[in-house]
């Protein structure tokens, strides 16, 4: 059953990716229909991450109060309504409003789904399961690029947005047979429900009592009230720094300058016709999916830390290479495509999934909602800033200059990973919690 839970929760990742990526394909058609300025372009694109900041901010409390699964239902409804509103938009501002609503849904999903998956996954495969959420994001991005290409001939941006309503319905229906997270029942003191849910999810009746006892011990050692204030206690601070720091660095790697604006970047470096730009964009989407699969395999094999350092190393080198080899004004379209592909590959194998995996592992249960919420606000806040400012910054200092800044941030990410990110592979959520509560340095965490 945990495979089903992960698969259904991952559909919200698909929607996350789809709604991020669809703007890339729709942009040309929207520009022709509404004649939008660069500023409006930035606002329309950034409305999604802005809505997501609000969604992520609300989700911590909501998932603690109502459970993980019920909140995903609400997200499915918002995805459905938002897609239809965007498809029927009669003005740019209505589209901005629809994308804000979709953004709220994306923000909710980006936190509630990894939380639900991590809490129901078998310990040995937890990293891989949460990474499946990231895989779904990348598949969503790729499909949105393909939908964009399919409807770009006749500029049918309405159908591009409407397509997002289909996975929303699938998510809603998929949630019906699933149980709530056993750890949420435990948090509410509903031990019988926790036991039933755990047995249903794992299918392993023999070990249910031991797992429940471990959850009970973890909860009994909790002293706080699960609020944001608890997160700032000295004991919790290192976990908060890791989760927020990783998302800050993930976004400042510049990933979404590429994901949202790929066709426009390709136009700038020399792909002249729209079909060529969209095809190159699809190439990027394919690399993103393929390398995420490789990352899912590596994460339980070489562990989180090593994978993170490989990722930051790879993105630093590829962005630096791009910044020094591309001539301003274009003409090197194939070198740019290759450089961007290497960058995306290094991101996808590592910086894509790891912040989601670590944020859902590293917080003790009582502050998990609040901690993941702050991490997700960081994720979307910086996603918003990068996406909003990229067109203006690129116009001011050139795409190459902006890539130079991103390269430097990736280098900082390497240093941060080396200094602060612990290895959590093969350690149960309850063991991680015990370690944090003991006050021992995070970096000393080891499997029992
Ligand atoms: C990031 C998104 C990004 C996506 C690209 C995710 O991990 O949070 O902002 O668009 O990866 O695959």
Q: Which of 208-217, 250-259, 377-386 has the lowest mean pLDDT?
A: 208-217
Nearest-atom number in ligand 1 for the CA of 49 is: 9
The closest residue, in CA terms, to atom 11 on ligand 1 is 352
Write down the mean pLDDT value for the chain.
Answer: 90
Tell me how far the alpha carbon of residue 352 lies from the centroid of ligand 1, in angstroms.
6
- Residue 446's pLDDT is 82
The pLDDT of residue 327 is 63
Quote the CA–CA distance of 284 and 369 in Å, as a whole number. Answer: 33
Integer-rounded Cα radius of gyration of the chain: 21
Residue 20 CA to ligand 1 center (angstroms) comes to 9
What is the whole-number distance in angstroms between the Cα of residue 35 and the centre of ligand 1? 29
Question: What is the token pair recorded at 276?
Answer: 């060529």
For the chain, how far is it from start to end, CA to CA, in angstroms? Answer: 27
pTM of the model: 0.88
- The per-residue pLDDT for range 82-109, each reduced to its tens digit, is 999 999 999 999 999 999 999 999 999 9
Which atom number of ligand 1 is nearest to the Cα of residue 288? 12
Atom of ligand 1 nearest to the CA of 292: 12
- Between the CA of 247 and the centroid of ligand 1 the distance, in Å, is 10
* Ligand 1 nearest-atom number relative to CA 353: 7
Residue with tokens 């501002």: 93
**CA 8 to CA 410: how far, in whole Å?**
32
Please report the atom of ligand 1 found closest to the CA of residue 355. 7
Tell me the C-alpha distance between 256 and 345, whole Å: 14
Q: What is the pLDDT of residues 285-331, one digit of tens each?
A: 999 999 999 999 999 899 999 999 999 999 999 999 888 877 665 55
* Whether the predicted pLDDT of 221 surpasses 80: no
User: For atom 7 of ligand 1, which residue has the closest CA?
Assistant: 352
pLDDT value of position 76:
96
Place of tokens 């990783």: 246
Mean pLDDT of 113-139: 88
User: Among 58, 63, 109, 53, which residue's Cα sits nearest to residue 377?
Assistant: 53
Q: Which atom of ligand 1 is nearest to the CA of 251?
A: 9
Distance 50 CA to ligand 1 centre (A): 15
Q: Which ligand 1 atom sits closest to the C-alpha of 259?
A: 10
* Alpha carbon of 255 to ligand 1 centroid (Å): 7
Give the position, in ligand 1's atom list, of the atom nearest the Cα of 141: 12
Which protein residue has the closest C-alpha to ligand 1 atom 1?
352
Write down the pLDDT at residue 330: 55
Q: Mutation test of ligand 1: which of 250, 285, 293 has the most ligand atoms closer than 8 Å to its C-beta?
A: 250
**Least confident piece of the model among 24-28, 92-96, 194-198, 251-255:** 24-28
Calculate how far, in angstroms, residue 41's C-alpha sits from the geometric centre of ligand 1. 20
Give, using CA atoms, the residue closest to atom 12 of ligand 1. Answer: 138
pLDDT beyond 60 at 354: yes
Higher pLDDT residue, 94 or 448?
94
**Closest ligand 1 atom, residue 379 Cα:** 8
Q: Name every protein residue with a CB atom under 6 angstroms from any ligand 1 atom.
A: 20, 134, 137-138, 141, 250, 255-256, 259, 288, 352, 379, 383
Is residue 395 exposed (0-12), middle (13-18) or buried (19+ Cβ within 10 Å)? Answer: exposed
Percent of the chain with pLDDT over 70: 98
Tokens of 182: 């056993």
More confident residue, 248 or 39: 248
What is the pLDDT, as a whole number, of residue 27? 84
Q: What confidence tens digit (pLDDT) does each residue in 359-378 have? A: 989 999 888 888 988 999 99
Q: Which residues of 8-39 are buried (b: 16+ CB within 10 A; e: fewer)?
A: bbbbbbbbbbbbbbbbbbbbbbbeeebebeee
Alpha carbon distance 86, 97 (integer Å): 8
Residue 441 reports pLDDT greater than 60: yes
Cβ-based neighbour number of residue 237 at 10 Å = 12
Mutate to test the pocket of ligand 1, among 17, 53, 390 (most ligand atoms within 8 A of CB): 17
Residue to substitute in 49, 103, 134 for testing ligand 1 pocket (most ligand atoms within 8 angstroms of CB): 134
- pLDDT attached to residue 331: 57
- For the record, the structure tokens of 58 come out as 């609300």
What does the pLDDT read at residue 38?
75
Distance 205 CA to ligand 1 centre (A): 37
Spatial separation of the C-alpha atoms in residues 316 and 411, rounded to whole Å? 6
């Amino acid at each position: 059953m945990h495979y089903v839970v992960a698969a259904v929760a991952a559909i919200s990742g698909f929607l996350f990716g789809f709604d991020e990526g669809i703007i890339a394909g729709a942009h040309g058609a929207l520009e022709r229909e509404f004649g939008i300025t660069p500023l409006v372009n930035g606002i329309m694109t950034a409305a999604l991450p802005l809505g997501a900041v609000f969604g992520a901010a609300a989700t911590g409390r909501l998932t603690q109060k109502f459970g993980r699964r019920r909140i995903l239902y609400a997200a499915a409804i918002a995805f459905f309504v938002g897609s239809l509103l965007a498809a029927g938009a009669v003005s740019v501002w209505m589209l901005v409003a629809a994308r804000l609503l979709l953004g709220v849904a994306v923000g909710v999903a980006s936190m509630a789904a990894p939380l639900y998956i991590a809490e129901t996954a078998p310990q040995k495969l937890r990293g891989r399961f949460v990474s499946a959420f990231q895989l779904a994001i990348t598949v969503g991005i790729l499909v949105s690029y393909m939908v964009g290409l399919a409807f770009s001939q006749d500029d049918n941006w309405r159908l591009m947005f409407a397509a997002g309503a289909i996975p929303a319905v699938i998510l809603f229906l998929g949630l019906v047979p699933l149980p709530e997270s056993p750890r949420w029942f435990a948090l509410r003191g509903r031990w019988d429900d926790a036991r039933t849910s755990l047995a249903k999810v794992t299918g392993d009746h023999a070990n249910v009592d031991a797992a429940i006892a471990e959850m009970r011990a973890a909860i009994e050692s909790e002293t706080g009230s699960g609020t944001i204030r608890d997160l700032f206690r000295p004991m919790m601070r290192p976990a908060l720094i890791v989760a927020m720091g990783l998302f800050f660095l993930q976004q400042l790697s510049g990933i979404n300058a590429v994901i949202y604006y790929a066709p426009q970047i390709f136009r700038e470096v020399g792909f002249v016709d729209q079909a060529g730009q969209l095809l190159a964009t699809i190439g990027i989407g394919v690399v993103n999916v393929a390398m995420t699969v490789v990352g899912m395999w590596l994460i339980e094999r070489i562990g989180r830390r090593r994978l993170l350092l490989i990722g930051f190393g790879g993105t630093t080198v590829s962005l630096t290479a791009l910044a020094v080899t591309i001539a301003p004004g274009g003409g090197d379209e194939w070198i740019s495509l290759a450089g961007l592909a290497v960058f995306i590959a290094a991101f996808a194998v590592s910086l894509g999934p790891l912040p989601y995996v670590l944020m859902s592992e590293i917080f003790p249960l009582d502050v998990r909602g609040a901690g993941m919420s702050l991490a997700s606000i960081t994720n979307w806040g910086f996603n918003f800033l990068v996406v909003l400012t990229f067109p203006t910054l690129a116009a001011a200092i050139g795409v190459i200059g902006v890539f130079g800044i991103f390269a430097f941030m990736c280098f900082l990410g390497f240093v941060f990973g080396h200094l602060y990110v612990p290895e959590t592979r093969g350690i149960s959520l309850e063991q991680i919690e015990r370690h944090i509560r003991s006050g021992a340095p995070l970096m000393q965490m080891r499997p029992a």
